[in-house]
Amino acid sequence: MKTSQNTVLITGGSAGIGFEIAKQLSAKNNHVIIVGRNPERLQKAAAQLQNVTAISADISNAADVENLVTKLLSDFPKLNIVINNAGAAAGLSDLLNNTDTFERASIEMHTNYLSIIRLNEKLLPLLKKQTEAAIVNVSSIVAFLPGKVTATYSASKAALHSYTQALRVALEDTNVKVFELMPPLVDTEFSTEINGHLGIKPSQVADEFLAALETDNYEIRVAGTEQFYQLYLSSPAEALKVLHGRAS
163 counts as catalytic? no
Which of these is catalytic: 153, 163, 218, 229? 153
DSSP string of the chain, one letter each residue: ---SS-EEEEETTTSHHHHHHHHHHHHTT-EEEEEES-HHHHHHHHTT-SSEEEEE--TTSHHHHHHHHHHHHHH-TT--EEEE------S---TTT-S-HHHHHHHHHIIIIIHHHHHHHHHHHHHTTSSSEEEEEE--GGGTS--TT-HHHHHHHHHHHHHHHHHHHHTTTSSEEEEEEE--SB-SGGGGGGTGGGSB-HHHHHHHHHHHHHTT-SEEE-TTHHHHHHHHHH-HHHHHHHHTT---
Tell me how far CA of residue 42 lies from CA of 2, 19, 45, in angstroms. 26, 10, 5
Q: What is the DSSP annotation of 189-223?
A: GGGGGGTGGGSB-HHHHHHHHHHHHHTT-SEEE-T
Catalytic residues: 153
